[in-house]
């Protein structure tokens, strides 16, 4: 195997955690693979449905004017925009100077070879996304127009070629940005920038999708606002050569001019490849310099003679539990990976709902009326309590508490502090975030549903009661099966099965609890009282049982 | 003073003993070096001694307090420096020291005095307001050393403490170790740097494959070798050259290699 192929193989394995099928040795490996495939299928089916529904409505609107070929142009342009943004984020997230990365620079591999391998790795993930987005338009157009078989082959070539130019541009922008100044060459700055772009893109995408979904049956609106000639999407597509070539190639293929279609598709592929091949040698030098300078930090020095004043000002004794709690808080809020993949849900979910509200105000007004008016606002109360409970239990703070601490676990266990006190600080920390989530969810949805202060307070009590139990359960699960070995903080939190288990478990339980309230028309006030009382009893019993469990479990734990 | 008696430890799922009936006693007023090849079980022994790991059998006693029966008072009499100082990168240096002070219940006044003295000694005073992540490995190591001494522990345990330290810091650390031993405390450290152990330690222990091969002074180790010369051992290059160089044959390095080699399967 050549050096480039070996490098690509190694990068693919370390990026995606991929391993060849012959390395799947036991049923657990296969079970995990099966679960991942199932999850991927669910996600593809779920999001794919939205893309296909949008493509179908566009097709119908355009077909009325004989312009259905524009669907391919729109699909190619949407995919290009998404690939540029998502590719840029993927490229940024790959910038770091880990010991492994530093060692690769010491090997006899050219900078161009290294960057080309990185390009391939980003391409692999983005090509799948491109195929997915563009594939929806391609499939709707192809199935509706019943073109010759060559159409599908040409479509595949086009779909594989489309990511190349936007990714070359994204690489150029990323390298320029990281070469611009020291400020950008830090993990925090990258996470901040990625977070802002990611959230902005997700909200904009959500807004566009919600708006188009609300007008699926309105061809005139679709033509005028985003699918027809003269719209921003269409003009951008005509001005972006890859989209234009994709459109012309597939239109030719659909009309039976397969040779012309192939020629255009090959031209698109060759052009994209040439553009990328040109970008790699140009960017290789600056990329290497940016990576090698990545993460350079200097301590902030106190002035001469300031140290003793600093010591007098800042060092003071506090209680052991307060110290443990403060440590939990600082380690979470200062690790962007933890914050963005955990408690950030408290902010992002209400934002997404606000976008939905803006996009579908007319449709949601009906729902708002139902929530506020029906059965004395019972549904509104339940929705507010449910949303608060969901946000309070989905922060992943409790269900990853021990996993997040894996690296420092040995040092913590050497301290003269009881296990239950350490775990208690973790629980209280999780409950603080649960309170924030419960309040945010109950108040925001309560206001949307037009509930009064009393009902909102009641909903918040239910939400907090549920979240407290959920976080205790999460801590229990993470104590039983912590993820003690990880290289990337994301693995401790977002890729932690405990976190996924708790979020899905909470949602299922919420549905189960909501059912009797609606089915038996239980009064909200009575429900609050029963639920809060039951939760307090369950929490106290759970905590007492957890204490013994945690002590035994931690006694036998083997920190890495 | 502390004692490990009959310590056995097998890591879950491995089936191989990491420690096999380990007996060790470290007395007050001495510096004790813990030596052994990679994977010998040094860190495992230290983790058991500091209460991080639970042994399968045997007991640990710290100043007469049995660790398993009264872990909190026993641990409070230890100060430990872990082998990896990269644990607290998201905290500031002062936050870490304050945390250690809180956990060991060090009153504010004593805390400030000790931090001022130790930070000055290790040239860390200027970076107390900095994030630990921005410090070099050596600075992090020095910070861990300061954190371990805030409560003036009677027993000081250090796992590979010289790694990453510059010559000045290494010198200061050795001086501090001696100072603490002279004041009546016990100092126990693991190391691969045999020259340091030879010059600094009052007694040493050599461990390989989880078993204690030797515990005593370097003089006792020399006498042991004289008494039991190994047949068929590799010729010692120093002694083969003879003359002044033959004294290298008595170096700790030579003694250590002989001992470990003899025990190798």
- Reduce the secondary structure of A117-159 to three states and give it as a string: HHHHHHHHHHHHHHHHHHHHHHHHHHHHHCCCCHHHHHHHHHH
Q: Is A156 within a domain?
A: yes
Write down the pLDDT at residue B237: 46
- Are both A220 and A356 inside the same structural domain? no
Q: Given an 8 Å threshold on Cβ–Cβ distance, is B51 in contact with A300? A: no
Q: What 8-state DSSP symbol labels residue A223?
A: I
Can you state the angle between helices B108-121 and B137-149, rounded to 10 degrees? 140
Residues B174, B234, single domain; the answer is yes
Q: Is there a contact between B52 and A331 if contact means CB atoms under 8 Å apart?
A: no
Read off the tokens for B182: 């002279």
**Position B106 confidence tier, pLDDT thresholds 50, 70, 90:** very high
R_g (Cα) of chain B, nearest Å: 20
Q: Verify that B137 and B170 share a domain, yes or no.
A: no
Is A85 part of any domain? yes
A302: nearest CB among B82, B107, B129: B129
**Residue B133 sits in the same domain as residue B107:** yes
Residue A382 has what pLDDT? 86
Query: Chain B contacts of A28, Cβ < 8 Å?
Result: none
Residues A261, A249: contact at Cβ < 8 Å? yes
Chain B interface disruption, residue of A296, A299, A419, most B CBs within 10 A: A299
Nearest chain A residue to B46 by CA distance is: A414
CA distance A371 to A386: 13
- For residue A419, what pLDDT is reported? 94
**B112 plus B236 within the same structural domain:** no
Classify residue A93: in a domain, yes or no: yes
CB B58, CB B125: distance < 8 Å: no
pLDDT-based confidence at B234, cuts 50/70/90? very low
Question: What distance in Å separates the CA atoms of residue A424 and residue B147, rounded to the nearest whole number?
Answer: 24
Question: Is B140 in the same domain as B110?
Answer: yes
Cα–Cα distance, B149 to A72 (Å, whole number): 70
Q: Which residue would you say has higher pLDDT here, B264 or A237?
A: A237
- Residue A383 and residue A457 in one domain: yes
- State whether B216 and B249 are in the same domain: yes
- Examine residue B82 and state whether it is found in any structural domain, yes or no: no
| B220 and B102 share one domain | no
SS3 A560: coil
* Chain position carrying tokens 């990323």: A174
Number of structural domains in chain A: 2
Q: Is residue A299 part of a domain?
A: no
Distance (Å) of CA A65 to CA A245, A468, A498: 22, 57, 52
Residues A199 and A235 in one domain: yes
Regarding whether A344 and A199 lie in a shared domain, the answer is no
Q: Do B76 and A302 touch (CB under 8 A)?
A: no
**Could you identify the residue written with the tokens 């805390």?**
B111
User: Cβ contact (<8 Å) for A315 and B95?
Assistant: no
Q: What is the pLDDT along chain A (560 residues), one digit of tens a residue?
A: 688 888 888 888 877 766 677 777 778 778 878 888 888 888 888 878 888 888 888 888 888 888 888 888 889 999 999 999 999 988 887 777 666 777 888 888 888 999 999 999 999 988 988 888 899 999 999 999 888 889 999 999 999 999 999 999 999 999 998 887 777 777 777 777 887 888 888 878 777 777 776 666 777 777 777 667 778 777 888 889 999 999 999 989 988 899 999 999 999 999 999 999 999 999 999 998 888 877 667 777 887 678 888 888 889 999 999 999 999 999 999 888 888 888 989 988 888 888 777 777 777 777 777 777 665 667 888 889 999 999 999 999 999 999 999 989 999 999 999 999 999 999 999 999 999 999 999 999 998 888 889 989 999 999 999 999 999 999 999 999 998 888 777 778 777 888 888 888 888 888 887 777 777 777 778 888 888 999 999 999 999 999 999 999 998 888 87
Strands (E) in A275-431, as ranges, are none
Per-residue pLDDT at B42 exceeds 90: yes
Q: Say if the Cβ atoms of A302 and B127 lie within 8 Å.
A: yes
Q: Which range is least confidently modeled, A326-340, B18-32, B56-70?
A: A326-340
Residues B58 and B179 in one domain: yes
- In chain A, what residues touch B102 (CB-CB under 8 Å)? 317-320, 322-323
Choose the final residue of a domain: B128, B153, B178.
Answer: B153
Mean pLDDT, to the nearest integer, of B194-213? Answer: 92
Q: Is residue B37 part of a domain?
A: yes
Give the nearest partner residue to A301 out of B105, B115, B127, using CB atoms.
Answer: B127
How would you class A179 by CB atoms within 10 Å of its CB: exposed for 0-12, middle for 13-18, buried for 19 or more? middle
Q: Nearest chain B Cα to A313, which residue?
A: B112
Interface confidence (ipTM) of the complex: 0.87
Closest CA to B106 of B142, B44, B151: B151
- Please tell me what DSSP assigns to residue A303: P
**In the predicted structure, residue B247 carries a pLDDT above the cut 80:** no
Q: What is the CATH number of the domain that holds B39?
A: 3.40.50.300
Examine the domain organization and report whether B173 and B221 are in the same domain.
yes
Which residues of A are less than 8 Å from B97 in CB distance?
315
Kindly provide the residue ranges of all beta strands, DSSP E only, lying in A173-220, ordered along the sequence: none
Where a domain ends, among B98, B133, B153?
A: B153
How close A172 gets to chain B, by Cα (Å)?
Answer: 29
Identify whether the C-beta of residue A317 lies closer than 8 Å to the C-beta of residue B106.
yes
**Cα angle value A65/A70/A72 (rounded, 5°):** 140
Closest CB from B106, B125, B130 relative to A300: B130
Task: List the single residue in A301, A315, A335 with the smallest CB-CB distance to B112.
Answer: A315
Instruction: Count how many residues are written for chain B.
Output: 265
Task: Examine the domain organization and report whether B159 and B255 are in the same domain.
Answer: yes
> Which of B118, B134, B153 is at the close of a domain?
B153
Q: Considering only A99-103, B220-224, B255-259, which range has the smallest mean pLDDT? A: A99-103
In a shared domain, residues A284 and A360: no
Asked whether residue B265 carries a pLDDT value surpassing 70, the answer given is no
Task: Say what the pLDDT of residue B240 is.
Answer: 47
pLDDT of B245 over the 60 cut: no
- The residue among B14, B81, B98 with the most chain A CBs within 10 A of its CB, best to mutate, is B98
Q: Where are the beta strands (DSSP E) in chain B?
A: 2-10, 17-26, 31-35, 57-62, 65-66, 78-81, 155-159, 186-190, 203-208, 211-216
Could you tell me the residue range of the domain that residue B32 belongs to?
A: 2-77+154-263
Counting the structural domains of chain B, the total is: 2
Select the residue of A314, A322, A416 nearest B94 (Cβ to Cβ): A314
Contacts of A188 in chain B (CB under 8 A): none
* B58 plus B113 within the same structural domain: no
- Determine, yes or no, domain membership for B225: yes
Cβ pair A134, A76 in contact under 8 A: yes
Residues of A with CB under 8 A from a CB of B: 297-302, 304, 307-308, 310-312, 314-320, 322-324, 326-327, 330-331, 334-335, 407-408, 410-411, 413-418, 555-556, 558-559
Judge if A127 and A258 occupy the same domain: yes
Residue A506: φ, ψ to 5°: -65, -45
pLDDT value for B23: 96
Q: What is the mean pLDDT of chain B?
A: 88
Tell me: do A162 and A198 sit in the same domain. Answer: yes
Is A302 inside a domain boundary?
A: no
Containing domain of residue A424, as a range? Answer: 320-555
Lowest mean pLDDT among A292-296, B87-91, B117-121: A292-296
Q: Is residue A304 part of a domain?
A: no
Supply the pLDDT for residue B235.
46
Taking CB atoms and an 8 Å cutoff, what residues of chain B touch A407?
86-87
Chain B residue numbers touching A408 (CB-CB < 8 A): 87-88
Whether A176 and A261 map to the same domain: the answer is yes
Q: Which tens digit of pLDDT belongs to each residue from B168-187?
A: 889 999 999 999 999 999 99
Contact state of B102 with A319 under an 8 Å Cβ cutoff: yes
- In DSSP terms, which residues pair with B188 in a beta bridge? B32, B157
**Chains A and B: how many Cβ contacts under 8 Å?**
129
Clarify whether residues B139 and B172 are in a common domain.
no
Cβ separation of A302 and B128 shorter than 8 Å? Answer: yes
| B116:A308 CB<8 A | yes
């Amino acid at each position: 195997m050549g050096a480039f192929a070996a490098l690509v193989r190694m990068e693919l394995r370390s990026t995606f955690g991929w391993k060849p099928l012959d390395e799947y040795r036991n049923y657990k490996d296969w079970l995990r693979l099966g679960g991942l495939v199932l999850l991927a299928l669910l996600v593809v089916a779920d999001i794919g449905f939205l893309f296909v529904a949008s493509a179908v409505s566009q097709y119908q609107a355009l077909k009325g004017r004989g312009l259905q070929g524009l669907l391919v142009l729109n699909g190619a342009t949407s995919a290009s925009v998404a690939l540029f943004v998502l590719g840029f984020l993927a490229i940024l997230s790959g910038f770091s100077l880990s010991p492994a990365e530093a060692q690769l620079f010491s090997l006899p591999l050219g900078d161009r070879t290294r960057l080309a391998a990185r390009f391939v790795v980003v391409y692999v993930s983005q090509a799948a996304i491109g195929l997915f987005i563009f594939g929806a338009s391609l499939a709707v157009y192809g199935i509706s127009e019943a073109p010759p078989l060559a159409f599908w082959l040409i479509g595949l070539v086009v779909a594989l070629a489309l990511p190349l130019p936007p990714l070359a541009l994204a690489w150029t922008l990323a390298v320029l940005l990281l070469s611009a100044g020291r400020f950008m060459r830090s993990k925090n700055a990258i996470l901040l920038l990625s977070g802002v772009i990611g959230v902005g893109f997700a909200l904009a995408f959500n807004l566009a999708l919600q708006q188009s979904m609300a007008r699926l049956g309105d061809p005139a609106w679709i033509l005028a606002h985003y699918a027809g000639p003269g719209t921003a999407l269409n003009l951008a597509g005509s001005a972006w050569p890859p989209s234009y070539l994709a459109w012309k190639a597939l239109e030719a293929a659909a009309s039976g001019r397969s040779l012309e279609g192939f020629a255009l598709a090959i031209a698109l592929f060759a052009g994209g490849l040439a553009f990328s091949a040109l970008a790699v040698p140009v960017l290789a030098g600056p990329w290497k310099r940016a990576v090698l300078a990545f993460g350079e930090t200097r301590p902030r020095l106190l002035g001469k003679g300031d140290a003793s004043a600093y010591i007098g000002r800042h060092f003071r004794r506090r209680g052991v539990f307060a110290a443990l709690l403060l440590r939990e808080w600082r380690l979470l809020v200062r690790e962007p990976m933890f914050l963005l993949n955990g408690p950030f849900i408290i902010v992002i979910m209400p934002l997404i709902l606000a976008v939905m509200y803006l996009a579908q105000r007319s449709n949601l007004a009906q729902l708002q009326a139902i929530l506020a008016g029906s059965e004395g606002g019972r549904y509104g109360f339940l929705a507010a309590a449910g949303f608060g409970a969901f946000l309070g239990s989905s922060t992943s703070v409790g269900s990853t508490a021990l996993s997040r601490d894996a690296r420092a676990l040995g040092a913590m266990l050497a301290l003269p502090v009881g296990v239950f006190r350490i775990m208690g600080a973790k629980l209280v920390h999780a409950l603080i975030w649960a309170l924030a989530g419960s309040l945010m969810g109950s108040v925001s949805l309560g206001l949307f549903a037009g509930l009064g202060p009393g009902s909102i307070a009641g909903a918040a009590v239910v939400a907090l009661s549920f979240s407290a139990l959920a976080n205790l359960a999460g801590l229990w699960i993470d104590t039983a099966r912590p993820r003690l070995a990880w290289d990337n903080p994301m693995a401790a939190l977002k890729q932690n099965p405990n976190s996924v288990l708790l979020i899905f478990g909470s949602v299922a339980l919420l549905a189960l609890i909501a059912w009797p309230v609606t089915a038996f028309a239980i009064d909200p006030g009575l429900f609050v009282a029963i639920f809060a009382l039951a939760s307090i009893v369950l929490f106290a019993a759970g905590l007492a049982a957890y204490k013994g469990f945690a002590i035994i479990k931690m006694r036998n734990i083997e920190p890495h | 003073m502390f004692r490990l008696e009959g310590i056995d430890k097998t890591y879950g799922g491995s089936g191989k003993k990491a420690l096999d009936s380990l007996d060790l006693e470290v007395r007050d007023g001495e510096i004790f070096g813990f030596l052994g090849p990679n994977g010998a079980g040094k860190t495992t022994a230290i983790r058991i001694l500091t209460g991080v790991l639970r042994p399968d059998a045997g007991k640990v006693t710290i100043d007469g307090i049995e660790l398993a029966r009264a872990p909190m008072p026993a641990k409070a009499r230890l100060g430990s420096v872990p082998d990896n100082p990269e644990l607290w990168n998201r905290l500031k240096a002062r936050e870490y020291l304050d945390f250690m002070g809180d956990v060991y219940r060090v009153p504010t006044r004593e805390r400030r005095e000790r931090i001022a003295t130790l930070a000055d000694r290790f040239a860390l005073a200027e970076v107390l307001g900095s994030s630990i992540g921005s410090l070099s490995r050596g600075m992090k190591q020095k910070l861990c050393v300061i954190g371990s001494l805030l409560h003036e522990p009677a027993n000081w345990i250090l796992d590979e403490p010289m790694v990453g330290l510059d010559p000045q810091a290494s010198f200061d650390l050795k001086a501090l170790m001696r100072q603490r031993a002279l004041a009546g405390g016990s100092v126990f450290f693991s190391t691969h740097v045999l020259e340091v152990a030879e010059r600094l330690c009052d007694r040493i222990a050599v461990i390989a494959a989880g078993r204690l091969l030797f515990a005593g002074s370097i003089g006792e180790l020399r006498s042991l070798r004289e008494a039991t010369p190994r047949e068929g051992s590799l010729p010692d290059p120093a002694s083969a050259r003879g003359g002044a160089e033959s004294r290298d044959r008595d170096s700790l390095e030579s003694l250590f290699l002989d001992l470990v080699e003899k025990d190798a399967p």
